[in-house]
Chains A and B, each alone.
Chain A
Amino acid sequence: MSKLDTPKLETYLQTPALKSDSMASSGPFKANADMQKSLGFPGEKIDNWQQVAIEKMGETIEKYRSIPVFLDACVKCGACADKCHYFLGTGDPKNMPVARQDLFRSVYRRHFTFAGKYFPKLVGAKEFDESMLDDWYNYFHQCSECRRCSVYCPYGIDTAEITMAAREVMNAIGVGQKYCNQILGKVKKIGNNLGMPEPALRDTLLDLEEEIEEDTGVAVKLPLDNEGAEILLITPSADFFAEPHIDGLIGYAKVFHQSGASWTLSSYASEGANFGMFIGNYDIMREGALRIRKAALDLGVKRIIVGECGHAWRVAYSFWNTLTGIGGGAADEYALQLQNQLDQNYPQPQHIIEYTYDLIQKGQLAFDKSKNDHRTVTFHDSCNVARGSNMGGIENGQFLLPREVIKAACNNFVDMSESTIKASTFCCGGGGGLLTDDLLELRVKGALPRMQALKQSEETSGVNTLAALCAICKSQFSKVLPYYDFDPFMVVSVHQLVSEALLLDGDNSQQESKTL
């Protein structure tokens, strides 16, 4: 654990005093030429970058209505100013959502509005110069695109949209971020963020099968590339190797096993995460989604289910149908083929939580909740699930379903303070392409609001387990919890809780423990 000045947890969340430019030099590493080129971006900052950047800004303004509307509509009321976890954790005023937008807006005003062209000083219009670009790079990489600000803005202004547009502009002039672009290169080449090839994946899955059988005596399978399976599971690749993610994967496998469904993973589309969203690039995001469509077609599955990953679920739920036509309405040959192939009795895609929840509702899963009695569990709503998706097709289902699944598996559940959960949830501090060690200071500080709420529930209700349903949240919490004197192992997958309490047919160990 490296030394950092970790903020102190107070009894209540405090709005910090402004510390101007305190995070001005805390931007992430830049992508090198190879990483940039592999995605079709210029290898390094181009000579006429200003001109190209302005053109690219113009393009985003023409292609995305959110951009001109958000840039024009802001009245600088400041309602969003104290809603961002990065501002709350760092006090840097440029981490206030409106100030972050203003980096984009001031250039927009200078080049695209009457007032800014003729009265720049009056309306805060600014030139796109080197120092502005530095600010763009730093502060648009200190936004996790969590959309919390949008919930409080009277016009729904979503800073995430501006951040995505800004990253798109920066990539177009050859100024990309290493973490995102390196990972996207790996997906493109190999199919997952880790660059884990098929044989390694197969080995991992076999190991897991052995482990489960040793634990339970039941031969739970984790099939790979199983043609003709009913269900294709798309999950973030972190589920294959990282702790505590892997225990969630075991949980999904047990649920599938118990439901009797045939299912499979795909080695071609072994990644649910889609960092194309983080860099605001429609084409790259679409490529990722098309990989999944191809895998679904090749394997001939009837259903697509998405594992625990926040932004992956936003992309799947909100964007897949747009990007690849997996639901209804697309007319190209592949989409039509897929529409015929998929079972239209189910929403496509579905989240693993929806799948498990349905089984619980139908009484098809039995639990020994006492297995989780050593835990007092609270649930962290992941920002992309909470503010970018739905579950169950009912209003606020994305808040309800995960809690119901947890409660089916655990006796002790308590929520954290109302202003920090559900639609108002705080980002873990590592989302939006910021889960990299070169941003550790930002990540630790950005976790402050969540840590504060957790501390409060620990003190008042004895919470000792933090359940999450996002690969990024889980990794981020594992890393930052110790900075706030929490046990890093207190974070678990929702499906780990399911896994631990689920009764499997033919599991001797559990039957014994029950009769004891």
Chain B
Amino acid sequence: MSLISILFAVFFYLAVLLCLVGVTLKVAQYASTPVPLKIPTAPAPLTKFGVVLRMMREVFLFASLFRASKWTWLFGWLFHWALVLLFIRHLPYFWPGEAPQILHQTEPLKYAAFPLIFGLSGLLARRFFVDRVRYISAPSDYLLLLLLIAIALTGVLMTFAHYYPDMGMVYSFAEGLITLNWSELPSESVFLAHIFMVFVLIAIFPISKMLHAPGVFFSPTLNQVDDARKKRHISDWAIDKEKNSKSG
């Protein structure tokens, strides 16, 4: 195998490892940190089922963001859903053996690249042109958007502008990463740039604001049932406090 193939394979495993370990640690931290008080925010559901509905509205529709800012919602929502579709579109590459029939029908999903770029550019434009958003943006906020845009653009170049690599090699390289049956990587630079940036994205997931993805499920303002008068909600450290103080 060529040096570059080895480097990329190593980098892939490293990125995935960093991502998995990092996210696991973060999720473990969130899960083990107590929530001492009931702090659901309005409009607060009174039942567990209500919380599930609320979470679905937030995760699938970005309901709060819609209320807050229609433009940000449009850009953000398009970008995230396009990302999901494109993720599905990439599954066949990694599928060990023959991918199920349905995954071979995902060809049209490639067009999701355009709403993706539209959404990302909109978000980037907001960072530049809306003074409030510019004020709160750190370099990492711009860079992350640029990284995503660059990934999308290299993808578009390959798919729509004939910069595609040898697809047979892509399949066997990608599948080989999963099945540990490594094979040679195509050497087209656009392709290499594309996957390099994706690996970077994966690697920085747990140390970046991409933590909002697991974070949203742990947000107590969103995931709590508003039933404080009915059930006592108390954290372990508060129980210890009670035991230690005489007056109860």
Contact = CB atoms under 8 A, between A and B. Distances in A.
B110 to A, nearest CB: 26
Interface stretch (B1-9, B127-135, B165-173): B127-135
A65 B229 contact: no
Given A76-B138, A396-B43, A319 B131 contact: no
A62 interface: yes
A151 B218 contact: no
A395 interface: yes
Contacts of A114: 207
B39 to A, nearest CB: 7
B67 A322 contact: no
A155 B133 contact: no
B242 A79 contact: no
A113 B207 contact: yes
A321 B29 contact: no
Contacts of A18: 131-132, 135
Contacts of B233: 321-322
A390 B141 contact: no
A282 interface: yes
B181 interface: no
B248 A64 contact: no
Interface residues of B, number: 67
Contact of B39 (A73, A158, A283, A325): A158
Given A69-B220, A93-B132, A423-B43, A329 B65 contact: no
Contacts of B30: 65, 68-69
Interface in A94-139: 96, 98-99, 102, 113-115, 119, 121-124
Interface stretch (A80-88, A222-230, A504-512): A80-88
A309 to B, nearest CB: 17
Given A64-B33, A93-B135, A72 B219 contact: no
Contact of B136 (A64, A99, A113, A333): A99
B58 interface: yes
Nearest to A18: B131
B232 A72 contact: no
B41 A96 contact: no
B141 A76 contact: yes
B216 A158 contact: no
A485 interface: no
A150 B44 contact: no
Contact of A122 (B45, B138, B231): B138
Nearest to A98: B136
Nearest to B44: A390
Nearest to B218: A69
A76 B126 CA distance: 11
Contacts of A386: 42
Interface stretch (B68-76, B92-100, B101-109, B156-164): B68-76
Contacts of B29: 68
A85 to B, nearest CB: 15
B41 A158 contact: yes
Highest count of chain A CB atoms <10 Å: which of B39, B215, B247: B39
Interface in A139-164: 147, 150-158, 161
Contact of A96 (B45, B132, B139, B212): B132
Interface string A312-355: 00000111011001011110111100000000000111000000
Contacts of A46: none
A141 to B, nearest CB: 20
B216 A76 contact: no
B120 to A, nearest CB: 13
A114 B26 CA distance: 12
Nearest to A346: B229
Given A151-B41, A156-B64, A81 B228 contact: no
Interface string B52-88: 0000001000101101110010001000000000000
Contacts of A78: 69, 72, 126, 130, 132-133, 136
A290 to B, nearest CB: 7
A79 B232 contact: no
A91 to B, nearest CB: 10
Contacts of A321: 228-229, 231-233
Nearest to B31: A65
Nearest to B230: A327
Nearest to B69: A79
B219 A328 contact: no
B69 A154 contact: no
A99 B140 contact: no
A486 interface: no
A424 B58 CA distance: 17
Given A72-B215, A150-B41, A152-B64, A77 B231 contact: no
A135 B135 CA distance: 16
Interface in B209-223: 209, 211-212, 215-216, 218-222
27 contacts: A17-B131, A63-B33, A63-B235, A63-B237, A64-B33, A64-B34, A69-B219, A72-B26, A73-B216, A74-B209, A93-B135, A102-B136, A122-B139, A122-B140, A147-B41, A150-B41, A154-B58, A154-B65, A154-B212, A156-B219, A290-B247, A319-B228, A321-B229, A322-B238, A328-B232, A394-B46, A395-B50
Interface of A: 15, 17-18, 61-66, 68-70, 72-83, 93, 96, 98-99, 102, 113-115, 119, 121-124, 147, 150-158, 161, 282-283, 286, 290, 317-319, 321-322, 325, 327-330, 332-335, 347-349, 386-388, 390, 393-396, 422-424
Given A66-B35, A388-B39, A393-B46, 10 more contacts: A18-B132, A65-B34, A66-B219, A73-B215, A75-B212, A78-B133, A113-B207, A124-B138, A147-B41, A424-B67
- 7 shortest interchain CB distances as A-B pairs: A329-B232, A73-B215, A124-B138, A156-B221, A152-B68, A79-B68, A423-B42
